[in-house]
């Protein structure tokens, strides 16, 4: 069973692993043991080499040994000895150590194999078959030389048995080859804790050579067709009973001491006179119990290759189209895909898979309903259940996936759907209850408006236990389609599928990144995987992990590959023969990789925010936020500084589940409150248009809340959504400007309590909208009238002018008015309440220069220059551009009247052509606009206002 040299293999492998760790100056781990197995040679090394795993590839995974647990080497050695004991081997060998590492999910070796993309189930199957003598180890040329020549060809097992019987010899248990075993059926030996495969004869599977049928009563088992059996289906023939009944002494050294009888599941056709009988009706509560009958031939001869064993294994789960036309044509056999290695490995979700398996083992309500948001991996959990049922369970069962749309297609005629469902029901019953239906989207089936009588058949079959079903649904779909029918809901047992944590999602991406990279022809760095998880959690809150992170990586890989291919084609097209010759001597280019920069570009497009903010290359920009805000806002230095501090706190990651910032800007009209909101949008999101503006003067009624969050169910416009919630759902990273907040109804204001406190708001359709990536800016004129009255009182008679009123006094007046007008619970949730003082004459003069600068840039696009004399600024202020009570808006009107209107007349008359210039000056105290030559001399008559 094992090599003669295996008595000291564990000691040798441990010393080799220690040497490898010492050479690499690393802590000894189970990965070094795995690399030692790959270096040692033998069947275990051949299995790793067949999967392109050498010692170098395995040692690269030593980064995964941080949390391996105490004494991983001793744990692996003890596991190898246990496996060797259960397999009745004299001494533990490398194969047993490999099986122990595969069984320890907490070991770094197990994680390294998972991350390398190896199908652990198939590797464990191949190792078990060799260790238990099911198949012979492949002998490589190096091992042939080591063993001393070519191996002898063993005689066929059937021929050897016939020769012994002709000579009248009894079969020698030590010499007779064991019947092949299937690795899916695992049963623990009596008194042992490690499960090993059991020999299970199967009918019509593999390349079996049937032995002569023994006489009845000679100790050979007999069988008869079970209820529901017929041509094309083989149902269980033997109950899972041990070779030795309880209480009877067992031989101490029998080779089969650790094995027990098993039952096959072969759904391929097997011609048999007994199986051609018409099926009998099954029991309503459970499938019919199998009865003993004629023995089945062995699954495969002992000399079968691993390919033949895999083919025989696949035959156990193959559905015969002649016998199961509905299941074969409408369904996808997940169990067959699992044994053929077509399903991707499932990382994590062990608890959910075990929950679903426990539900399937129940007597009543044994239909698990995987409940969770879209994108959390409900379908992957169902496929993991199919994989476990095919490999790890005592009784393997076939999981068939049915697509509801294909099931309902072509059933427009009356009775067509009922006929199709009846066919599925009868085929599942005929298979002896070994077929499980997987419906991905129960709402499509039960909430599709299908005929009531057809749905009643499914409910009846579920109630009687004739159908076993695994379904998936979101919480909303479950409430609308399943929970409304209590008789249907009680047939399912809910298995909650929650969104994975970030570290679990990272491990999942590591396992998927291998196949994803092979598809795109490139590699994904660990930094890219971590960035995809972190950025998707922060900037794409409306979707669930791991789907959103996988989508980001997939798109980043596709874009990187396309750009690399385009660049390569362009380079080949433009390359000269000399450059081509030089390129032959250039060093090879490194493999294409997807890093954080490529992931940031995708997230930037999906979340509509700057790439620099993701890559944190704008740290200097965030540290100079006051300067950036002051470029668009004149004055109010203290208020801008307080705003910048709040924004920097969020940029550093110091934030709770609240918006980026919430600000209440108080002050008279025209002082720059709205311009401050635009400046925040441009500083954070590089665009002043990254803003949603709501005028709260339109929300003066209590029912206006429906306009914000959407109409409730049953009202007109329910499907349209709300003005605020839909804008934030489409663009979660933006500024939300609530203008003139004091004019809104109190009910509208109280709707924002959960937004300021928890950063979320539920719309009329029950969807939760995330506000944690928004900046909330509220503007109000509360207290402006009181502050104006205070300034007027101070300016009566010979008293001081209005400029002598302290800003602190004006600010206290406005704060008192805001605190009295707004609900206390809302006022207390605002990050910063800022008071904007009235603009001074110097502030308005600076605003005038900036407005004229904008006008100059517009004329430059026409090829016309604009020159402004310094005296023109004071003339514009004196001409009505400065009013302390109205702020900067009078200056906009003054410039439009005295500058823009004369410029428009000159342009329309043809006096301002490309290459000419316009001069804004002062003549006799009035502002005039002239068309002049480039040199500065006047070319046309002045056009005064």
Residues 418-438: tens digit of each pLDDT: 888 888 888 888 888 789 999
Tell me if residue 429 falls in helix, strand or coil. helix
**Sheet order of strands, 943-944 included:** 865-868, 917-923, 926-932, 943-944
Distance CA 843, CA 888 (A): 9
Distance CA 621, CA 610 (A): 12
Beta bridge partners of 944: 928
The pLDDT assigned to 451 comes to: 54
The pLDDT assigned to 264 comes to: 42
The answer to whether 884 and 838 have CB atoms below 8 angstroms apart is: yes
In the chain the domains, ranked by start, together with CATH numbers, are 4-147 (1.10.1780.10), 325-411+422-496 (3.40.50.300), 502-569+594-605 (1.10.8.60), 619-835 (3.40.50.300), 841-944 (1.10.8.60)
The pLDDT assigned to 778 comes to: 94
Distance of CA 2 to the CA centre of its chain: 44
CA distances from 369 to 379, 385, 446, 469 (A): 11, 13, 13, 8
Spans of the chain below 50 pLDDT:
1-6, 64, 139-266, 268-305, 576-578, 580-581, 583-591, 796-803, 935-945
Distance CA 802, CA 789 (A): 10
H or E segment at 7?
A: none
CA distances from 899 to 539, 876, 944 (A): 45, 9, 10
The answer to whether 803 and 817 have CB atoms below 8 angstroms apart is: no
Q: List the helix and strand counts (H, then E) for the chain.
A: 42, 23
Tell whether the torsion through CA atoms of 404, 407, 412 and 418 is positive or negative.
Answer: negative
User: Between helices 502-520 and 547-574, what is the axis angle to 10°?
Assistant: 30
* pTM score of the predicted model: 0.57
Distance of CA 282 to the CA centre of its chain: 42
Q: What string of H, E and C letters represents the secondary structure of 308-365?
A: HHHHHHHHCCCCCCCCCHHHHHHEEEHHHHHHCCCCCCCCCCHHHHHHHHHHHCCCCC
Here the tokens at position 107 are 């070991």
Give the N- to C-terminal CA distance of the chain in Å, as an integer.
Answer: 108
Distance of CA 867 to the CA centre of its chain: 58
Strand pairing class (331-333; 435-440)? unpaired
CA distances from 442 to 450, 493, 709, 715 (A): 13, 13, 29, 28
The residue assigned the tokens 């744990």 is 75
Task: State phi, psi for 527 to the nearest 5 degrees.
Answer: -65, -35
The pLDDT assigned to 372 comes to: 93
The pLDDT assigned to 215 comes to: 39
pLDDT digits 0-9 by tens, 614-659: 886 667 778 888 888 998 898 888 999 999 999 988 877 766 678 9
Distance CA 107, CA 33 (A): 11
Q: For 73, left (φ over 0), alpha (ψ -120 to 50), or beta?
A: alpha
Here the tokens at position 460 are 């009846």
């Amino acid at each position: 069973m094992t090599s003669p040299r295996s008595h000291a293999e564990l000691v040798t492998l441990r010393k080799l692993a220690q040497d490898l760790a010492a050479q690499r100056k690393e802590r000894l781990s189970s990965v070094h043991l795995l690399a030692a197995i790959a270096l040692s040679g033998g069947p275990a090394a051949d299995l790793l080499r067949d999967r392109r795993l050498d010692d170098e590839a395995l040692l690269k995974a030593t980064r995964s040994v941080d949390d391996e647990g105490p004494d991983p080497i001793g744990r692996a050695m003890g596991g190898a000895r246990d496996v060797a004991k259960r397999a009745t081997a004299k001494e533990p060998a490398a194969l047993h150590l490999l099986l122990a590492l595969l069984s320890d999910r907490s070991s770094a070796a197990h994680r390294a194999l998972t991350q390398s993309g190896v199908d652990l189930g198939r590797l464990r199957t191949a190792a078990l078959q060799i260790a238990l003598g099911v198949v012979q180890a492949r002998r490589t040329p190096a091992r042939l030389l080591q063993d001393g020549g070519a191996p002898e060809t063993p005689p066929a097992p059937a021929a050897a048995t016939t020769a012994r019987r002709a000579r009248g010899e009894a079969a020698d248990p030590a010499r007779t080859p064991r019947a092949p075993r299937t690795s899916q059926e695992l049963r623990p030996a009596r008194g042992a804790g490690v499960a090993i495969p059991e020999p299970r004869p199967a009918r019509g599977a593999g390349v079996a050579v049937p032995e002569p049928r023994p006489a009845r009563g000679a100790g050979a088992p007999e069988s008869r067709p079970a209820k529901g059996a017929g041509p094309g289906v083989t149902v269980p023939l033997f109950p899972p009973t041990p070779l030795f009944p309880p209480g009877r002494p067992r031989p101490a050294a029998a080779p089969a001491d650790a094995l027990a009888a098993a039952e096959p599941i072969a759904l391929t056709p097997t011609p048999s006179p007994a199986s051609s009988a018409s099926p009998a009706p099954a029991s309503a509560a459970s499938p019919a119990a199998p009865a003993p009958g004629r023995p089945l031939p062995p699954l495969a001869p002992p000399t079968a290759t691993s390919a033949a064993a895999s083919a025989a294994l696949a035959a156990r789960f193959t559905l015969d189209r002649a016998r199961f036309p509905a299941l074969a044509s409408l369904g996808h056999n997940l169990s067959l895909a699992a044994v053929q290695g077509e399903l991707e490995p499932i990382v994590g979700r062990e608890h959910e898979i075990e929950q679903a398996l426990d539900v399937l083992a129940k007597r009543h309500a044994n239909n698990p309903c995987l409940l969770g948001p879209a994108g959390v991996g409900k379908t992957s959990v169902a496929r993991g259940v199919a994989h476990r049922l095919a490999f790890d369970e005592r009784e393997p069962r076939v999981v068939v996936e049915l697509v509801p749309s294909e099931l309902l297609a072509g059933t427009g005629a009356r009775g067509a759907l009922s006929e199709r469902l009846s066919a599925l029901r009868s085929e599942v019953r005929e298979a002896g209850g070994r077929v499980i239906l997987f419906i991905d989207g129960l709402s499509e089936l039960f909430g599709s408006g299908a005929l009531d009588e057809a749905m009643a058949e499914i409910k009846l079959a579920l109630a009687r236990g004739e159908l076993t079903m695994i379904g998936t649904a979101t919480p909303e779909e479950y409430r609308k389609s399943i929970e409304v029918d209590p008789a249907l809901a009680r047939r399912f047992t809910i298995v909650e599928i929650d969104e994975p944590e970030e570290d679990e999602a990272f491990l999942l991406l590591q396992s998927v990144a291998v196949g994803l990279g092979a598809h795109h022809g490139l590699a994904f760095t660990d930094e890219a995987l971590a960035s995809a998880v972190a950025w998707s959690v922060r900037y794409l809150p409306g979707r669930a992990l791991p789907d959103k992170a996988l989508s980001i990586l997939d798109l980043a890989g596709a874009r990187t590959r396309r750009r690399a291919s385009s660049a390569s084609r362009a380079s080949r097209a433009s390359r000269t023969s000399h450059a081509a010759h030089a390129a032959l001597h250039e060093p090879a280019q490194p493999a294409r990789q997807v890093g954080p920069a490529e992931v940031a570009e995708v997230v930037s497009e999906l979340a509509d925010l700057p790439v620099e903010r993701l890559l944190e290359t704008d740290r200097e920009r965030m540290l100079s936020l006051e300067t950036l805000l002051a470029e668009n806002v004149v004055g109010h230095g203290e208020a801008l500084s307080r705003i910048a501090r709040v924004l920097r706190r969020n940029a550093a990651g110091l934030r709770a589940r609240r918006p980026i910032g919430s600000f209440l800007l108080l002050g008279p009209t025209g002082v720059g409150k709205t311009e401050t909101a635009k400046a925040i949008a441009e500083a954070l999101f590089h665009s002043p248009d990254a803003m949603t503006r709501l005028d709260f003067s339109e929300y003066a009624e209590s029912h206006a809340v429906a306009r914000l969050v959407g109409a409730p169910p049953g009202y007109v416009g329910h499907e349209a959504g709300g003005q605020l919630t839909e804008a934030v759902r489409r663009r979660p990273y933006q500024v939300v400007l609530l203008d003139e907040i004091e004019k809104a109804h109190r009910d509208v204001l109280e709707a924002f309590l959960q937004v300021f406190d928890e950063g979320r708001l539920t719309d009329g359709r029950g969807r939760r909208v995330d506000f944690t990536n928004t900046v909330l800016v509220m503007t109000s004129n509360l207290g402006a009238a009181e502050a104006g009255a205070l300034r007027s009182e101070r300016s009566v008679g010979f008293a001081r002018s209005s400029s002598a009123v302290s800003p602190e006094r004006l600010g206290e007046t406005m704060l008192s008015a805001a605190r009295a007008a707004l609900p206390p619970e809302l006022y207390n949730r605002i990050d910063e309440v800022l008071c904007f003082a009235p603009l001074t004459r110097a502030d308005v003069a600076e605003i005038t220069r900036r407005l004229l600068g904008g006008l100059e840039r517009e004329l430059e696009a026409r090829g016309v220059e604009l020159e402004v004399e310094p005296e023109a600024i004071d003339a514009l202020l004196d001409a009505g551009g400065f009013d302390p009570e109205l702020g900067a808006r009078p200056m906009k009107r003054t410039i439009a009247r005295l500058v823009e209107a004369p410029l428009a007349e000159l342009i329309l008359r043809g006096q301002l052509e490309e290459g000419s210039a316009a001069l804004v000056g002062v003549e006799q105290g009035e502002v005039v606009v002239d068309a002049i030559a480039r040199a500065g001399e006047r070319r046309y008559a002045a056009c005064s206002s």
